[in-house]
Structure 1
Amino acid sequence: MSAVIEYILSDLHRYEGGTSSGALLRHLATNWSFRYSFWLRLCGCRSRVVRVVAKIVHRHLSIKYGIHIPASTQIGHGLFIGHAVGLVVNHTARIGSNCNLSQFTTIGSNHEHAAVIGDNVYIGPGACIVEDVVIGSNATIGAGSVVVNDVAEGATAAGNPARVISMNKPGRYVANRWSGNAAKSVTAQQHAQIRP
């Protein structure tokens, strides 16, 4: 349970800049995005009772908000969902720590090899990340971009298809980063080693 709690607190920190119990209750009551990630994280709890309840609530919120992030998706600490609406993530995607996912974003795959996204990555509204690409840490993906090729660490990519337009100010839209000692993430280097 302690690992799940750390994930929840890391997500809360991204919204609040802290992890107080008052902030937790306030965000659960008023913040749809945090509420969704809270129940998503609880789906990984070891307690069977908590896990079953979490999966029921997660499914309900998925339908209500139009978000599809399977509980089995590997997501690092500090997930930030910009707006709780219209978000689809393939279960094979691997998302690093301190990542921002915006509304109407799709991280998909038809071949069970979705993207690997590094740490401190901002993905803008309406972005579509297609198949087995690697997005390096501290990258920024512009709104409406269609990413079909790897994006280098620290790059800003935009367009259809997305191209690197800048290497300035890497990770600039990722605020309140979680830096807990136990934070684990998926790096582009790790993905390169396991690519088929």
Structure 2
Amino acid sequence: MINRMKEDINMVLELDPAAKSKFEVAFTYSGLHAVWMHLLAHKLYKKKFATLSRALSQLSRFATGIEIHPGAQIGRRLFIDHGMGVVIGETCRIGNNVTIYQGVTLGGTGKEETKRHPDIDDNVLVAAGAKVLGNIRIGENTKIGANSVVLINTPKDSTVVGIPGRIVKQAGEKVKDARDMNVTNLPDPILDMILGLEDEIRDFRKEVRNEVRDGSHI
């Protein structure tokens, strides 16, 4: 546990330019406190001390504003930056070198029964306010934009934004047209309407140019 704490402190010093000293990080970073409390709660959870583990997680929630269910599995060097309002569900699995900002939910949709929460692979960044919901997998090196709502599996090296979340970049290449991507089964009538209006405006402009060129309209 001591080695884990030292590793986490050094990680914060490396990642956060606002961190000035090991003492400051150890005593003032609520994200680290929540992770360390969770490690204890998770040990109790695995030993079938369900009520005690939940009580410890609720104490951590009260102290840090971060709620991590004691059943959640987290890897090494999880950096919860600022952290207020973060919720991590019971069957969530988080890999190594993951960064999570304030207001993030790694939760369920209410439709699953056993595995209800997402798997987050290594080196993923989840920006402020994002919601990653359901039994899905977020591939390694993925970046999820602020306030996105992700309901689908994402391949590694992706950038995901929007409601519902759409892949806008993959393996360093921009995705040209969201209409050609099969990344979600949920309809988005607002996007469809906007894209339809764009097509109509394009056709109208083309028609006007043709009429002006032919001299049939002034």
d(CA) in 2 for partners of 1:124, 1:78: 17
What amino acid does structure 1 have at the position aligned with 2:12?
Answer: Y
Q: Displacement, 1:55?
A: 7.2
Query: How many aligned positions are there?
Result: 159
Partner of 1:39: helix, strand, or coil?
helix
Q: Which runs of 5+ in 1 are unaligned?
A: 171-196
Q: What's the TM-score, normalizing by structure 2? A: 0.64
Pairs within 5 Å for 1:172-183: none
Residues 160 and 168, structure 2, Cα contact 8 Å, conserved in 1: yes
Q: 1:56 to 1:12 in 2, by over 3 A?
A: farther
Asked if 1:40 is matched to 2:30, the reply is no
1:165 is matched with which residue? 168
1:186 is matched with which residue? none
d(CA) in 1 for partners of 2:3, 2:71: 17
Higher relative contact order (CA 8 A, sep 6+): 1
Query: Which of the numbers 1, 9, 12 marks the counterpart of 2:9?
Result: 12
1:174 is matched with which residue? none
2:73 is matched with which residue? 74
d(CA) in 2 for partners of 1:102, 1:163: 20
d(CA) in 2 for partners of 1:132, 1:57: 26
2:137 is matched with which residue? 134
Q: Deviations over 1:28-76 (max 9, x none)?
A: 3222222222222233558x9xxx9997664323023332102221111
Identify which range, 156-165 or 56-65, moves more after superposition.
56-65
Residues 161 and 168, structure 2, Cα contact 8 Å, conserved in 1: yes
Q: Deviations over 1:67-97 (max 9, x none)?
A: 2102221111001001120011111011100
Q: 1:148 to 1:45 in 2, by over 3 A?
A: closer
Q: 1:125 to 1:131 in 2, by over 3 A?
A: same
1:115 is matched with which residue? 118
Instruction: Point out the structure with max Rg over C-alpha.
Output: 2
Query: Which of the numbers 156, 160, 176 marks the counterpart of 2:159?
Result: 156
Identity %: 27
d(CA) in 1 for partners of 2:7, 2:93: 17
Q: What's the TM-score, normalizing by structure 1? A: 0.70
What amino acid does structure 2 have at the position aligned with 1:15?
Answer: V
d(CA) in 2 for partners of 1:45, 1:6: 17
What amino acid does structure 2 have at the position aligned with 1:29?
Answer: F
Residues 87 and 103, structure 1, Cα contact 8 Å, conserved in 2: yes
Partner of 1:17: helix, strand, or coil?
helix
Partner of 2:167: helix, strand, or coil?
strand
Partner of 1:166: helix, strand, or coil?
strand
Residues 7 and 41, structure 1, Cα contact 8 Å, conserved in 2: no
Identify which range, 27-36 or 143-152, moves more after superposition.
27-36
d(CA) in 2 for partners of 1:92, 1:55: 14
Q: Alpha carbon RMSD of aligned pairs, Å?
A: 2.8
Residues 65 and 85, structure 2, Cα contact 8 Å, conserved in 1: yes
Q: 1:169 to 1:63 in 2, by over 3 A?
A: farther
Q: Which runs of 5+ in 2 are unaligned?
A: 16-20, 174-218
